[in-house]
Amino acid sequence: MATATLSSKFQISIPKEVRDQQHWSAGQEFVFIPKGKGVLLIPVPTLEDLKGMARDANPENYRDRDDRF
């Protein structure tokens, strides 16, 4: 199990084995999601990552902003 220490500037270096396993690189953006006494660290997807996700989605019966009050 990899560990890291919080610095006096509140920074943490992600261990190399974790970065390599997850294919994370410098400059990548992450979101922090509080979860109980811990936190989930999730990479923010790029538009390229999201491309094609809704390829077979059915656009019928889509709720638009026009039907809101």
User: What is the per-residue DSSP string for 7-67?
Assistant: -TTS--PPPHHHHHHHT--TT--EEEEEETTEEEEEEPPPHHHHTTTTTT---TTPPPGGG
Taking the model in full, what pTM does it have?
0.63
pLDDT digits (tens, 9 = 90+) for 3-60: 999 999 999 999 999 999 999 999 999 999 999 999 999 999 888 888 888 888 887 7
Q: Please give the structure tokens belonging to residue 14.
A: 């992600």
pLDDT digits (tens, 9 = 90+) for 50-66: 888 888 888 777 777 66
